[in-house]
Amino acid sequence: MSPPSYRVWALPGLPEVRPGDDIAKLIAATEPGLVDGDVLLVTSKIVSKAERRLVEAGDREEAIDAETVRVVARRGALRIVENRQGLVMAAAGVDASNTPAGTVLLLPEDPDASAVRIRDGLRDTLGVEVGVVITDTFGRPWRTGLTDVAIGAAGVRVLDDLRGGVDAHGNPLSATVVATADELAAAGDLVKGKAAGLPVAVVRGLPHVVGEPTEAAVGARALVRTAADDMFRLGTSEAVREAVTQRRTVRAFTDEPVDPGAVRRAVAAAVTAPAPHHTTPWRFVLLESAASRTRLLDAMRDAWIADLRRDGKSEESIAKRVRRGDVLRNAPYLAVPCMVMDGSHHYGDPRRDAAEREMFVVATGAGVQNFLVALAGERLGSAWVSSTMFCRDVVRDVLELPANWDPMGAVAIGHAAELPRERPARDAGAFIEMR
């Protein structure tokens, strides 16, 4: 048996593509000699030209803005964005090269549909069953240089899912999914070239990657990771801003357990906050067992009820207030941030001593904010509640804390049971005074 092999070659003879042209008919007119099982690799640029995606634009940046759904990362003038097609790429795929002045070329509006039209057209014209991949050039995370990838496909198994199988040594394959359409696109780019005027390539010898019409409906969209599966959804600065803006108070949690490692990573972020005199004023007590949480919250509830009764509140009013505090009781995980003032200065002057304590309080608050933002980055919901500050002696007694540890509230942690309600955007200018 001969070893597996395939051929790939660029298709010569295609004329300059113009708006309204039928790509399939242009390919057929070159007498390409296609056979069943061939795969055509078609550069997106000629598809865009045929589909009248050449548009006037005052400048390329405006066109990129119009095609951008979400900025993923920005460095200087370079933007990596998610575009209208759901693709994450530089400049939203907007191309200003080899186009008339004052115009730009956008990607096909629906690359999968474009591939279907070319495939169907070749079947009607030449009577062959082929696969079609629409390609475009991408940079890649972690790797230098560009390569062609599939942005549209029809009649091609875009992914080869090997999970559930075994390798040559009998080891189970649990994570291997091959991006077949991207591999085909890269192979075609080796012969098409960027400036050779050869926008179409043919691959022959891999009929197993050409799918039936039912499989063709999947298209290259299947290659795009969902937001839930994308571990690298944002650039560094964008990820920080996203975590900060997405940090919302969560008051209802699911029963899903919390990963203790995620909380410890959040603590590691918390203790990078600034602090006075090179001190470390933060301590985090993690209540990971239901028994420890119940013991603390029961003691705090009893102390709160006693305070409310001393305030003359009615039993009905007390019951309502206690119910409102159930956000801590309903959380599957609690953390109690504490402040310690080791290393603080004592001046013997009430004004300066008060300012000294305030410095430590601010530093502790910065640590708590870091903690909450880091939890959001771990996709955990949280709610900071101040209640432990009103019964510090009780908290210290129940948790057996040193006398110099001041509880600074409690943080309920868990997986949000529902999406937070939309809140109106705040105008940062309203909080700024210029001098």
Q: Provide the 3-class DSSP secondary structure of residue 96.
A: coil
Which DSSP state fits 197? S
- Kindly indicate the confidence band of residue 323, based on its pLDDT and cuts at 50, 70 and 90: confident
Average pLDDT, the chain: 89
- Distance, CA of 104 to CA of 53 (rounded, Å): 8
* pLDDT value for 328: 85
> Could you tell me the CATH number of the domain that includes residue 404?
3.40.109.10
The single-letter code of the amino acid at 402 is: P
Q: Check whether residue 205 and residue 306 sit in a common domain.
A: no
Residue 216 has pLDDT above 50, yes or no: no
| Residue 7: strand pairing partners | 204
Give me the mean pLDDT over the 353-370 stretch: 95
Q: Check whether residue 26 and residue 118 sit in a common domain.
A: yes
Q: Check whether residue 254 and residue 210 sit in a common domain.
A: no
Of 178, 205, 229, the residue at which a domain comes to its end is 229
Counting residues of the chain whose pLDDT is more than 70, the rounded percentage is 92
> Could you tell me the CATH number of the domain that includes residue 169?
3.30.1330.100
* pLDDT value for 228: 74
Q: Check whether residue 259 and residue 185 sit in a common domain.
A: no
129, 212 Cβ separation under 8 angstroms: no
Q: How far is CA 362 from the centre of its chain?
A: 31
Q: Provide the 3-class DSSP secondary structure of residue 179.
A: coil
Better-scored residue on pLDDT, 414 or 97: 414
Q: Is residue 205 part of a domain?
A: yes
Q: Is residue 356 part of a domain?
A: yes
pLDDT, tens only, 68-103: 998 888 877 788 899 999 898 988 999 888 788 888
pLDDT, tens only, 27-45: 999 999 999 999 999 999 9
Of 229, 253, 280, the residue at which a domain comes to its end is 229
- Closest among 232, 182, 244, 216 to 82, alpha carbons compared: 232
Q: How far apart are the first and last CA of the chain?
A: 83
* pLDDT value for 195: 55
40, 184 Cβ separation under 8 angstroms: no
* pLDDT value for 10: 95
Q: For residue 65, what are its two tokens?
A: 């803005």
Q: Is residue 153 part of a domain?
A: yes
Residue 160 has pLDDT above 60, yes or no: yes
pLDDT, tens only, 261-278: 999 999 999 999 999 999
Q: Check whether residue 269 and residue 184 sit in a common domain.
A: no
* pLDDT value for 214: 55
Q: Check whether residue 177 and residue 210 sit in a common domain.
A: yes
Q: Is residue 81 part of a domain?
A: no
* pLDDT value for 50: 96
Q: Is residue 87 part of a domain?
A: no
Of 229, 254, 272, the residue at which a domain comes to its end is 229
Q: Check whether residue 382 and residue 327 sit in a common domain.
A: yes
Q: Is residue 97 part of a domain?
A: no
Give me the mean pLDDT over the 57-66 stretch: 85
The CA distances from residue 423 to 252, 303, 415, in Å, are 17, 34, 20
How many domains are contained in the chain? 2
pLDDT, tens only, 11-28: 999 999 999 999 999 999
pLDDT, tens only, 279-321: 999 999 999 999 999 999 999 989 888 988 998 988 888 888 8
* pLDDT value for 238: 67
pLDDT, tens only, 164-204: 676 666 777 666 788 999 999 999 999 986 656 799 999 99
Q: Is residue 62 part of a domain?
A: no
* pLDDT value for 325: 67
Q: Is residue 86 part of a domain?
A: no
Better-scored residue on pLDDT, 171 or 401: 401
Domain span at 406: 242-431
- Distance, CA of 366 to CA of 71 (rounded, Å): 28
Q: Check whether residue 210 and residue 303 sit in a common domain.
A: no
Q: Check whether residue 189 and residue 336 sit in a common domain.
A: no
- Distance, CA of 253 to CA of 331 (rounded, Å): 6
| Residue 40: strand pairing partners | 132, 202
Q: Check whether residue 266 and residue 371 sit in a common domain.
A: yes
Q: Check whether residue 273 and residue 197 sit in a common domain.
A: no
Other C-beta atoms lying within 10 Å of the C-beta of residue 186? 16
- Would the CA dihedral through 223, 224, 226, 229 be positive or negative? positive
Q: Check whether residue 284 and residue 422 sit in a common domain.
A: yes
- Kindly indicate the confidence band of residue 161, based on its pLDDT and cuts at 50, 70 and 90: confident
* pLDDT value for 215: 52
pLDDT, tens only, 93-141: 998 887 888 889 999 999 999 999 999 999 999 999 999 999 999 988 8
